[in-house]
């Protein structure tokens, strides 16, 4: 059996458990399950799926019905035979792992392989807010883009992100929300979190502010983390790991709450550029050595710059799309 045939077969298996097959296709899978070693290995996959159910990432009613029905058809043959399972145990192990990690069946496969008529929203030197068809909110930072369907259909809710966004996802245990970046796949049922994927290498960072998040490396599906409120993790250089968040202004672009404690002005400018999607430059490197201690609570960038200029006796001027800060004294 060639690779394409194997792939098609497993699409049918996952679709069977998610209830997406017609009657004829269901009977085909049930007949196939009667092979000699089918019962043992199918039950092994079922055990893995049960682990996901206990973690709260899967609705079990439909799956249990499918298993009960399928087990009625499984009968061990009287004579030994070389079955599909015997010849393709490695393939089955990979498929079982995929079921363990996502448990969303053929619906996700169909969407990932060929989502059509996706809409998109882009930002450059601005930030935008979007409410999706399910009521989920997305806050998009500068130089970012999001692809999404006008209306979610099927077993999951899939969007694709380039750049940075904060998500506030409406709970729906029957339709998991999935975000894809260049290197990562993030799956949730209902939660709030920030995703940053702005590096040219496709590196990804995620900070969870509520709920649980399933964080996975696309190229290495077995590489995954389950994150909870307060967790901060990254996927960099193919390494998926938990991190300690030391940047108090990490979410300032979304909250507009900024805290500086003896912070070099060079770092302050970087933070402001990220938080407000602007381009602020210092006229000379010496200004970067000045240090700022202050807190700004939801101030617009113009008012904030005025306050900074008063503190350090600076002036500002526009230069195209840039704002230049320079000393007001010789």
pLDDT tens figures, 195-225: 999 666 779 999 999 999 999 999 888 899 9
Write down the CATH number for the domain with range 119-243: 2.60.120.1440
Average pLDDT over residues 164-188: 95
Fold of 252-327: Phage tail protein beta-alpha-beta fold (3.55.50)
pLDDT tens figures, 294-324: 999 999 999 999 999 999 999 999 999 999 9
| For the chain, percent of residues with pLDDT exceeding 70 | 64
pLDDT tens figures, 245-264: 999 999 999 999 999 999 99
pLDDT of residue 89: 46
Sequence ranges of the domains in the chain: 3-111, 119-243, 252-327
CA distances from 205 to 139, 197, 259, 262 (A): 16, 7, 21, 26
Contact by Cβ (8 Å): 280, 273: yes
**Does position 87 have pLDDT exceeding 70, yes or no?**
no
Sign of dihedral through CA atoms 225, 229, 235, 236?
negative
Average pLDDT over residues 167-177: 94
Distance CA 211, CA 197 (A): 21
pLDDT of residue 27: 65
pLDDT tens figures, 112-124: 444 447 899 999 9
The residue among 283 and 88 whose pLDDT is bigger is 283
- Residues 6 or more apart whose Cβ sits within 8 Å of residue 302: none
pLDDT tens figures, 16-68: 655 566 666 666 666 656 553 455 545 555 555 555 444 444 444 555 555 55
Is 256 buried (19+), middle (13-18) or exposed (0-12) by CB count in 10 A?
middle
Is 5 buried (19+), middle (13-18) or exposed (0-12) by CB count in 10 A?
exposed
pLDDT of residue 330: 64
- Categorize the per-residue pLDDT at 138 as very low, low, confident or very high, splitting at 50, 70 and 90: very high
SS3 230: coil
pLDDT tens figures, 146-156: 999 999 998 99
Distance CA 239, CA 302 (A): 40
Name residue 257's beta-bridge partners.
Answer: 297
């Amino acid at each position: 059996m060639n690779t394409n045939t194997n792939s098609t077969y497993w699409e049918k298996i996952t679709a069977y458990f998610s209830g997406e097959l017609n009657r004829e296709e269901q009977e085909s899978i049930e007949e196939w399950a009667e092979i000699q070693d089918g019962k043992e290995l199918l039950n092994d996959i079922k055990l893995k799926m049960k682990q996901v159910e206990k973690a709260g990432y899967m609705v079990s009613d439909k799956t249990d019905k499918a298993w009960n029905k399928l087990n009625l058809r499984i009968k061990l043959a009287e004579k030994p035979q070389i079955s599909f399972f015997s010849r393709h145990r490695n393939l089955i192990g990979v498929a079982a792992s995929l079921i363990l990690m996502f448990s969303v069946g053929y619906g996700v496969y169909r969407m990932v392989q060929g989502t059509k008529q996706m809409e998109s929203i882009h930002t450059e030197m601005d930030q935008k807010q979007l409410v999706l068809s399910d009521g989920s909110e997305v806050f998009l930072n500068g130089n970012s883009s999001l692809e999404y369907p006008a209306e979610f259909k099927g077993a999951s809710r899939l969007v694709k992100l380039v750049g940075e966004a904060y998500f506030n996802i409406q709970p729906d245990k029957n339709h998991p929300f999935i975000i894809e970046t260049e290197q990562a796949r993030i799956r949730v049922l209902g939660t709030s979190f920030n995703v940053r994927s702005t590096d040219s290498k496709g590196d990804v960072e995620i900070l969870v502010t509520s709920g649980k998040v399933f964080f996975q490396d696309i190229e290495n599906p077995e590489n995954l983390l389950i994150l909870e409120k307060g967790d901060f993790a990254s996927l960099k250089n193919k390494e998926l790991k938990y991190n300690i968040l030391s940047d108090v202004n990490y979410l300032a672009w979304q909250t507009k709450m900024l805290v500086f404690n003896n912070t070099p002005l060079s770092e302050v400018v970087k933070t402001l550029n990220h938080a407000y999607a602007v381009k602020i430059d210092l006229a000379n490197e010496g200004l970067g050595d000045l240090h700022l201690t202050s807190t700004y609570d939801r101030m617009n960038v113009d008012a904030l710059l005025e306050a900074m200029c008063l503190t350090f006796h600076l002036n500002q001027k526009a230069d195209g799309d840039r704002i230049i800060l320079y000393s007001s004294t010789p």
